[in-house]
Amino acid sequence: MADSNNREIELTEIAPGSSGVTRAFNALTSALTSAPSSNRVFAPIPQQSRHYSQHQIRATRAAINPNAPCQEQTVAIVTTSGSTGNPRGVELSAAQLGAMNDFINSGAVIGVTLDAPPRWICALPVTSIAGINVLSRSIAAGTVPVALESVAGGSIFDPDEFADVVARITEEPIFVSLVPTQLRRLLNSQRGAHALSQCAGILIGGGPTPTNDFLQAQDLGLNITYTYGMTESAGGCFFSGVAGPDTHYVLDSDNSRITLQGPSIALGYRPTETTAFMPFSGSFTTDDYARVDSLGKLEILGRLDDIVLINGVNVSRMAICKIIEDYSAIQSCFVLPNLTALVVPVVTESTDFDGISAEIRAQIALQLGSIAIPTFRIVSHLPTLPNGKLDQLTITNLYG
């Protein structure tokens, strides 16, 4: 579809598994290597599968809005996850997509200097910014990513598959981006944990990592960096609380809301049927709030819409969930606005949630006050998006 600048937005349908990763890699390579002279704009859209409903695909297409014009610098249109509502289309330039690539690929992000460019394992959907980051960094490194077949629901994420892929890479240093749920599964598998130890760099993003998992990774000597960013910042731009190159932040004096500034901030939101293009101009105000810890690092405390007012007291649902997920017997958790904690226990013969619930309540009272103690409800699973994040909208609709 051409705009007034003769730019062509190419909707690239991405299948689950490695074939979809290969197609996206080739399409993004073409868009980046021909920029800025080319009129090609890369816009990935998922193929319908058990992980992507027709409704999600329609919402993604609407967010991309291929018939509307795009900015002259745009090389890619990436949609937000839509975990709390409809996704939005974000326009990104080649410079924004690549702003952190050299910093990460050089090894500086993990505090070392690599002797060779890294080989990236793609474990995240390439229709979202985290997966596209892997493609962009691979292109910058001059390497080809190795994709798991489980990407985007091609199969269930399997520590054994991950270990097999790691074993096949014998020459380059290995880098991988994961979400916390994937990290937990790998840490709980002997082969998975060993495979992680063979990785030169492990980037974890997409949500908070439970303290127990952090400590276990630390005990294993894993080289883990915790990333913070979003589609609007072209992915991770903070690394274990430290800003990436030329990146800055401002915390609102009233609610500590984060505004990000720097070279990775996207061009802006796509126009919709009712709104015009919304430029960011190098600055993006997030829905997250944070504090600066004693070491001067940025600590993400949660989303502003996670805060609920109980008897005049602000209570963070994310803080409650973090305490609950710190227990190894808990697989995942989501706290509803009415302070009902939906808990998925790790299913083993020795699982006894009732036995630890009193301890969890005591910890919540100690850290957050007794007013934050939730009502617990055991559930078999919590719906997730293909990028591994909890599908908050669906969960709230199901249980709220």
215 vs 202: CA distance, rounded Å: 15
- pLDDT score of 1: 36
Same domain, residue pair 341 and 261: no
Look up the pTM and report it: 0.88
Query: Is there a contact between 332 and 279 (Cβ–Cβ < 8 Å)?
Result: no
Same domain, residue pair 240 and 322: no
Same domain, residue pair 177 and 259: yes
Same domain, residue pair 376 and 345: yes
- pLDDT score of 269: 98
Q: Which CATH number covers residue 83?
A: 3.40.50.12780
Same domain, residue pair 274 and 386: no
Whether residue 299 is contained in a domain is answered as: no
358 vs 278: CA distance, rounded Å: 49
Same domain, residue pair 278 and 333: no
Same domain, residue pair 281 and 316: no
Same domain, residue pair 192 and 46: yes
Same domain, residue pair 115 and 246: yes
- pLDDT score of 211: 82
Q: Which CATH number covers residue 380?
A: 3.30.300.30
Cβ neighbourhood burial of 243 (10 Å; 0-12, 13-18, 19+):
middle
Whether residue 2 is contained in a domain is answered as: no
Side-chain-side CA neighbours of residue 63 (13 Å):
28
- pLDDT score of 386: 75
Whether residue 3 is contained in a domain is answered as: no
For residue 42, which amino acid is it?
A: F
Same domain, residue pair 288 and 372: no
- pLDDT score of 348: 61
- pLDDT score of 349: 53
Three-state SS string across the chain, please?
Answer: CECCCCCEEEEEEECCCHHHHHHHHHHHHHHHHCCCCCCEEEEEEECCCCCCCHHHHHHHHHHHCCCCCCCCCEEEEEECCCCCCCCCEEEEEHHHHCCCHHHHHCCHHHCCCCCCCCEEEECCCCCCHHHHHHHHHHHHHCCCCEECCCHHHCCCCCHHHHHHHHHHCCCCCEEEEECHHHHHHHHCCHHHHHHHHCCCEEEECCCCCCHHHHHHHHHCCCCEEEEEEEHHHCEEEEECCEECCCCEEEECCCCCEEEEECCCCCCEECCCCCCCCEECCCEEEEEEEEEECCCCCEEEEEEHHHEEEECCEEEEHHHHHHHHHCCCCEEEEEECCCCEEEEEECCCCCCCHHHHHHHHHHHHHHHHCHHHCCEEEECCCCCECCCCCECHHHHHHHHC
Whether residue 15 is contained in a domain is answered as: yes
Token pair for 113: 């200097």
Number of domains in the chain: 2
Residue 54: count other Cβ atoms within 10 Å of its Cβ.
8
- pLDDT score of 340: 95
Side-chain-side CA neighbours of residue 267 (13 Å):
20
Encode the chain (400 residues) as per-residue pLDDT tens digits.
334 455 779 899 999 999 999 999 999 999 998 766 667 899 999 998 777 788 888 999 999 999 999 999 999 999 998 766 689 999 999 999 999 999 999 999 999 999 999 999 999 999 999 999 999 999 999 999 999 999 988 888 999 999 999 999 988 999 999 999 899 999 999 999 999 999 999 999 988 888 888 889 999 999 999 999 999 999 999 999 999 999 999 999 988 999 999 999 999 999 998 899 999 999 999 999 999 999 999 999 988 988 998 877 889 998 999 899 888 888 889 999 999 999 998 876 556 777 788 899 999 999 999 999 999 999 998 988 777 778 888 898 898 7
Same domain, residue pair 253 and 280: yes
Same domain, residue pair 197 and 243: yes
Of the candidates 351, 347, 335, 353, which has an alpha carbon nearest to the alpha carbon of residue 390? 335
**Any idea what the Cα angle at residue 298 is, between residues 295 and 304, rounded to 5°?**
140
Token pair for 389: 């994040």
- pLDDT score of 4: 42
**Any idea what the Cα angle at residue 85 is, between residues 84 and 86, rounded to 5°?**
145
Q: Per this entry, what is the length of the chain?
A: 400
Whether residue 210 is contained in a domain is answered as: yes
Domain housing 162? 8-292
Query: Is there a contact between 120 and 134 (Cβ–Cβ < 8 Å)?
Result: yes
Whether residue 301 is contained in a domain is answered as: no
Please state whether the peptide bond connecting residue 337 to the residue before it is cis, i.e. omega within 30 degrees of 0.
Answer: no
